[in-house]
Structure 1
């Protein structure tokens, strides 16, 4: 619509075109002379056009890029704590939110139903249990390559182990020749055993010689060793401002290329100056923080990610109704042994912070609370949630324990176990459960080229 002034103006009409009823649109136009004018427009789709006929595009919208700066909440929840006393003075609270950056996504088109629907998170637990067969046919495989350039390294044996108290796996390698040992020294190696990948750094080489025999081997740790000495210098850290537990761990991992998350642990605030470490590597500092809460570290070497979880992800008094992560049966158990350790069963524990913090009493629900465990004093006991986590894991350590050692194969439907897993052991129709305390895998290549692979796990089960 061309006005008297040079500026051009447009009028956009929005019409609902899913029904067949006629629509009438009145457009009011205010001219510069002050008089109001009207321009009526009548449209009918499935009948005779009245006054004017318009062309309306029908069908699914075309693929396109959609860009928006609408707010997208971060992963997790945002907690606002208003802990200042109420004041009648006019002092409003100012909340500042950073504007979201422009975000674009590709819309591949579609009708009334979006071609890219938002699917809900799959949040259900499917236990792993190998099938019972009359016999198992397996073709073991083992390979080793240098990650930097994918150079194959020939090894004759490998042993990998980890327990709940370790933040890195222990690795022992035996090479087929001196050249392979030299190529692997202080290098990141990718070891594949029956399709499952493990990362290791060959750190301490050794050699032995006898008449006609020369053996070269090395010991090392998993990729998590990148966060320890000698790869990282010792650091000293103190939270000079109020920080959450996740924020403190993030500070310790700054500029390392690793990330961390809390699993099964509610995040809580740590007052300024409450937590400090001195002259420790980043992973040792994180392990100290986790140990104060009765937690442990699991590492994903492929994605360089640390996960802080409780030492007892499933406490003994809840195992009866819990779903095991892995269930094994007699058909896949090649060796079984058990032993009993006697410990008093406690139902209450007292905890307190050090320079700052709280004093708390954690009691097992439904118990009398009259048999105390050893008191716990730690820097991070600064919140009720911290006391609950540490106290729960301390009580779970008490009582008589049945230590079961199992030897198992490594198959497609029987993957390597992980410390902290809830393991179910099937005996007939019954399944008793325990927590995986330690795990190891061993692979040996014989002189004839035969490969023998076996994993061993230790399961702790409470019997009191």
Structure 2
């Protein structure tokens, strides 16, 4: 069947190659007009097994994104950098960005012609310019925090850098405040409260992906910025914070959604062959093979022993003391995170294109990587993007485990 395609007529431009997401800054359609989205131009495998060039074939939702073994992978890269407020384009010589499980937002840097200074530096002291970098259709909202100029004979360049827009919630942009709970609140409610001033929201939402738990009155006391409060509560749950790429949303993710010893039975998010990776590096680490840990709270807290099922639970990790250990849901999550980061591990670094099928592979994705017939499954912990026209690469780091049989 034919799939109708549409593009905003006001732009008089062809659709960009790759995905056209709803977040792309197209204008609102006229009354009665609806734009088709998403749109992709790719080779797609049909139900009868043939491969053909089709228009408007989106990837399957859910399941595993499988990258096939091919002699050649063709990716047409696209990159742009514009001001978030005016849409003015900014010339870029090179661009890089990185994100990992221990960093709550993107860090980035770029080299620009010195003539671009008015576009990236606010004339008002204390104000910072926001930019939007779009990499193969994926937008990132970024804050300019540092500028440096390098002038040589006949040329001058700016080195600009900063963080994602969640930088507004952290030092030095956010105020330091003292917080406590006079009444019983859930952990999520504590974080919702921390993102308020005098009971009014500062405009940031939560995408809460861990099990919530009740915190009795007087168990929560904290001094710091908004982001300090978010990372502290996430740490208690054995989780970490990731800011949304474009929206004012903080995502709370479990460090181990599934215990590593169960990964072989899980369906991975992405299946990568060695053929699509340009560079591979492996670092082996041997950590103590703990199989039990005590989680202890304060006066109103608990004292729970979390152990790996099916083991003798005879190798105890160091006791974790946390005032927020007030509920079995919390101690189980925190204990799973502690026991997950044990035993023999292989940290694999892969350099590959930003493919339409995978996009940017962010921390938290379960990835299966097959090398010389051996499949390893692990969770992505970091990604680094490097752009220098016409090339665009991503380097991801996977945490894989070699667990002893139980």
Output the TM-score relative to the length of structure 1.
0.69
CA RMSD of aligned residues (A): 1.7
Is 1:313–2:257 an aligned residue pair? yes
2:208/2:253 contact within 8 Å kept: yes
**1:364 maps to what in 2?**
308
Cα-to-partner distance string for 1:31-81 (whole Å, 9 max, x where unaligned): xxxxxxxxxxxxxxxxxxxxxxxxxxxxxxxxxxxxxxxxxxxxxxxxxxx
**1:224 maps to what in 2?**
166
Q: Distance in 1 between matches of 2:169 and 2:245?
A: 12
1:224/1:301 contact within 8 Å kept: no
Residue 310 of structure 1: how far off its partner (Å): 1.1
Cα-to-partner distance string for 1:226-279 (whole Å, 9 max, x where unaligned): 21133321111101111011111111112221111321x22111001101111x
Cα-to-partner distance string for 1:362-399 (whole Å, 9 max, x where unaligned): 01111101100111011210111100000000000111
Per chain length, whose mean CA-contact separation is higher, i.e. which structure has more relative contact order (CA < 8 Å, sep 6+)? 2
**2:125 maps to what in 1?**
none
2:139/2:245 contact within 8 Å kept: no
- 1:386-401 to 2 correspondence within 5 Å? 386-401=330-345
Which of 142, 146, 151 aligns to 2:83? It is 146
- 1:335-354 to 2 correspondence within 5 Å? 335-354=279-298
**1:274 maps to what in 2?**
219
- 1:410-449 to 2 correspondence within 5 Å? 410-427=354-371, 431-445=375-389
Q: What secondary structure, in the 3-state scheme, does the structure 2 residue paired with 1:331 have?
A: helix
The alignment covers a number of residue pairs equal to: 334
Is 1:183–2:86 an aligned residue pair? no
Is 1:459–2:398 an aligned residue pair? yes
Q: Distance in 2 between matches of 1:208 and 1:158?
A: 16
- 1:22-37 to 2 correspondence within 5 Å? none
Cα-to-partner distance string for 1:74-95 (whole Å, 9 max, x where unaligned): xxxxxxxxxxxxxxxxxxxxxx
Residue 182 of structure 1: how far off its partner (Å): 3.2
**2:179 maps to what in 1?**
237
**2:124 maps to what in 1?**
none
1:227/1:256 contact within 8 Å kept: no
2:343/2:402 contact within 8 Å kept: yes
1:345/1:398 contact within 8 Å kept: yes
Q: Distance in 2 between matches of 1:389 and 1:213?
A: 55
Q: What secondary structure, in the 3-state scheme, does the structure 1 residue paired with 2:276 have?
A: coil
Q: What secondary structure, in the 3-state scheme, does the structure 2 residue paired with 1:179 have?
A: helix
**1:385 maps to what in 2?**
329
**Which has the greater radius of gyration?**
1
Q: Distance in 1 between matches of 2:238 and 2:87?
A: 39
2:292/2:339 contact within 8 Å kept: yes
Q: Distance in 1 between matches of 2:363 and 2:158?
A: 30
Output the TM-score relative to the length of structure 2.
0.79
Which deviates further from its counterpart, 333-342 or 252-261?
252-261
1:127/1:327 contact within 8 Å kept: yes
Residue 284 of structure 1: how far off its partner (Å): 1.3
